[in-house]
Amino acid sequence: MKGIILAGGMGTRLLPLTRVTNKHLLPIYDKPMVYYPLETLIKCGIKNILIVSGPEHSGHFLRLLGSGKEFGVKLTYEIQEEAGGIAQALSLAEDFADGGSIAVILGDNIYDGNFEREITAFKEGAKLFLKEVEDPKRFGVAELQDDKIIGIEEKPESPKSKQAVTGLYVYENSVFDYIKQLKPSGRGELEITDVNNFYVKEGKCSFHKIEGFWSDAGTMDSLFNAALFMRNKEFL
């Protein structure tokens, strides 16, 4: 299985920090942010990884990460020419996937866990990684019935659960066909929640509940909290 790190976007919620570089290169305690999703994929045994970034700071990623030799992996790079949403960024990985299944992680998602077993066991459809949160309105929220996801809502006003869909996804190659069927949302973007709901409707969307730490790092508060967690972990 190949891995994909989606690290585009403008990072407007982190201005003025993102005037000088991509948000995924900002520090989370003692490492650049992108190291964390990279390490998550590596811990899952994934050795061939594509990084999708915007054109403004793509050279910064190359300078930092190079070929991937330092990490024992092979890194490839792709440019998302303009902001079009997570699903649009993922569509750029179709040739890289080469007909196989993929593990996709958002570049600002920080996990303290090893998901090798869940990813290795993946067979078909889609697998999502859920985390119970106190502020589900900020996220895509999964509605569960017994052991199934029956729907996902993006940033709902009245969440039907506290189970946030985190930024780690595993897909069979059909994901690229689904993306081609998408229409832009009200934000003018191709939404990953719409992709996931294709699999929900087909009954092919499984999930794993995360017990350990997870945070996005796309706001000032979440950036600080992720850094604080990693700092405290270092000294425990």
How many contiguous H segments (helices) and E segments (strands) does the chain have? Answer: 8, 13
User: In terms of DSSP H, where are the helices of 13-160?
Assistant: 35-43, 58-65, 86-91, 94-97, 116-120
pLDDT of residue 223: 94
What is the DSSP pairing of strand 74-79 with strand 48-53? parallel
Domains present along the chain, CATH in parentheses: 2-235 (3.90.550.10)
CA gap 173, 176 in Å, rounded: 6
pLDDT of residue 236: 58
Tell me the sheet residues that pair with 154.
140
Tell me how many degrees the CA angle 167-169-170 measures, rounded to the nearest 5.
165
What pTM was estimated for this model as a whole? 0.95
Residues in the chain where the model's pLDDT stays below 70: 236
CA gap 95, 43 in Å, rounded: 24
pLDDT of residue 8: 87
